[in-house]
Structure 1
Amino acid sequence: MRILLLSLVAAITLFSCKKKDKDANGAQTLLNVKYGTDAKQAMDVYLPSGRSTTATPVLILIHGGGWTEGSRADLNAYVDTLKRRVPQYAIFNISYRLAANGQNLFPTQEEDVKAAVEFIYSKREEYRITDRFGVIGASAGAHLALLHAYKYSAPVKMKAVVSFFGPTELVQMYNNPPNPLVPVLLASVTGATPTSNLTLYQQSSPFNFVVSSSSPTLLLHGSNDIVVAPSQSEILKDKLNTVSVPNQYVLYPGGGHGDWSPLIYFDAFNKIDAFLKLYHP
């Protein structure tokens, strides 16, 4: 009986290996893939079937949480929606180290996003993906998405960036906050104020890195956002227009800071779908 069981296990293993080889280019989900040594330096990877290094574009998702909390699981609904709407994309939902108790202050989060992008780029052959990258972020994640897209062009320049209600100019956000807790948050995650370390605030503001060659940008914001004021998207839109960077700004009347109705989110993803088709096919 033991020999029979061992033979059966061997046969199943052999069959499984052959099946894996046969379906090597099928859809694949890889959870908690490490791009660094910290537990937060990880991502979930969603690879589509039929992918190739010449045809499969990449979308990177970055979660919010005020740079101090949240996880990539917060964007699982985004992943599910994007997999249905744009099934040809490889999706990478990343986490990053969080600023808390005086640890992992800016620019730790910026550095982690850069490291994650570099990791994904280095895996192009293994994952069978192209070098056509785009990035979507929500709130603090949108800030990080915009900052990376505008500030870095190596190893790959982002084809498009989508911001769900993201901060764009931190000095203005500190000095003209939509609520009194915003300056406290910014000081806690930077370890400074604009007065004590203006350079850090400037270097951490996507607004300051916009040039004529910046990535096409889609800005989505709610009119009643009391965490990140709509003016943060509006000033970025104006600067993008000034240097002729393709962009679209959508203001949703009555929308708060992510507490949007299903209809608003449905429209937002319609906008994203159209934007990706135009700038990141």
Structure 2
Amino acid sequence: MKAIKVILLSVLLVLITFSCSKENTDTPNEGLNTSEYYEELNVSYGSDNDQKFDLYLPQNRSTSTKVMILVHGGGWSAGDKADMNSLKDIIRLDLPNLAIVNLNYRLADANNRPYPMQIEDITSVISHLKENQDFYGISDDYGFIGTSAGAHLALLWSYAFDSDKDVKMVCSIVGPTNFTDPAYLNTTDPNLRALMDVYGVNASTEFLEEVSPYHRVTATAPPTIMFYGGKDPLIPTTQGTAMRARLQQLGITHEFTLYENAGHGWVGLELLDTWSKLKAFTQTHL
């Protein structure tokens, strides 16, 4: 009888050991190694081929690691996240503790208007980051840097669609802010007309206000930094100055820089000035 008990206990011990071993094997991966740098390109956040982003996670990160989201320009119908790679590189160099998301979004065409499609894409990216926050080892504090059309999207999402108030700062580099601006509505410039028509020929004032950060901003908007060119052929100066006045009226922390002789982008000392100010603003608010 004693021998039988020893055999049964041995069998039970083997079963328990096997069971525990199997349970550990089946446990999902709890997350990435946060002590190591992690990079993943073309992370899918939807079924469309354009719904992808590149992810850069710093080493020694934690759930307090902030995330900078980059949004490329291209008139809502062109452009690619690769256009933001130089900005991504300088962020990694000068702000090495930030996680970076460089996103693509579905591009507008004759059958697909930019709104609400592209705003929905940004929402999907944010949802993906939140759902995988523990896995990636990041916080849910976000910053946005957008250029041109991407700046418009960054402002609009941050002002009107960030229901959880997760955005801590947003940057507009030559981004449109107000489609009801007379400089747009009354223009005869074919380039400006083409830009407006992406949002619909003869669009109603109500709709143009709905897609304008100027009309959607509230007193709870995040700190905002903006850069514009005084000789920009696509973005009238009033897009920046009126937005500045609106932010000031609402008491929102903001900075505004106008490079009087610059166009739709700049180089040299002006570019160095932009990064110096943007870096300091990011360090303060994100």
Q: If the TM-score is normalised by the length of the shorter chain, which range does it land in?
A: 0.7 to 0.9
Change (3 A) 1:38 1:104: farther
| C-alpha contact (below 8 Å) 1:179/1:227 kept by paired residues | no
Question: What code does the residue aligned with 1:68 have?
Answer: S
Question: What code does the residue aligned with 1:218 have?
Answer: I
Q: 1:45 Cα shift?
A: 0.4
| C-alpha contact (below 8 Å) 1:46/1:92 kept by paired residues | yes
- Of 52, 58, 67, the residue aligned with 1:48 is 58
Q: 1:177 Cα shift?
A: 4.2
Take 1:207 and 1:141, find their aligned partners in 2: how far apart are those partners? 15
Q: Which moved more, 1:203-212 or 1:167-176?
A: 167-176
Question: What code does the residue aligned with 2:127 have?
Answer: E
- Of 82, 87, 93, the residue aligned with 2:96 is 87
Q: Which moved more, 1:134-143 or 1:204-213?
A: 204-213
- Of 135, 146, 161, the residue aligned with 2:144 is 135
Q: Does 1:242 align with 2:246?
A: no
Q: Does 1:97 align with 2:103?
A: no
| TM-score, length basis structure 2 | 0.84
Take 1:92 and 1:45, find their aligned partners in 2: how far apart are those partners? 5
| TM-score, length basis structure 1 | 0.86
Q: Greater Rg, structure 1 or structure 2?
A: 2
What are structure 2's unaligned runs of at least 5 residues? Answer: 1-30
Change (3 A) 1:130 1:102: same
| C-alpha contact (below 8 Å) 2:73/2:79 kept by paired residues | yes
| C-alpha contact (below 8 Å) 2:32/2:137 kept by paired residues | no
Q: Does 1:184 align with 2:190?
A: no
Q: 1:204 Cα shift?
A: 0.6
How do 1:1-281 residues align onto structure 2 when only pairs under 5 Å count?
A: 25-53=35-63, 55-172=64-181, 174-177=184-187, 179-187=189-197, 189-194=198-203, 197-258=204-265, 260-280=266-286
Take 1:174 and 1:110, find their aligned partners in 2: how far apart are those partners? 22
- Secondary structure of the 1:82 match is helix
Take 2:210 and 2:36, find their aligned partners in 1: how far apart are those partners? 42
Q: CA RMSD in A?
A: 1.8
Question: What code does the residue aligned with 2:39 have?
Answer: T
Deviation per CA, 1:75-109, whole angstroms, max 9, x where unpaired? 00000011111000000000101111332442211
Aligned-pair identity in percent equals: 35
Take 1:240 and 1:278, find their aligned partners in 2: how far apart are those partners? 18
- Secondary structure of the 1:170 match is coil
Take 2:227 and 2:208, find their aligned partners in 1: how far apart are those partners? 23
Take 2:37 and 2:223, find their aligned partners in 1: how far apart are those partners? 29
Deviation per CA, 1:125-183, whole angstroms, max 9, x where unpaired? 11111111110100000000000110023344310000001000012153144933212
- Secondary structure of the 2:180 match is helix
Q: Show structure 1 runs of 4+ deviating over 4 A.
A: 21-24
- Secondary structure of the 1:182 match is helix
Question: What code does the residue aligned with 2:43 have?
Answer: V
Aligned residues: 255
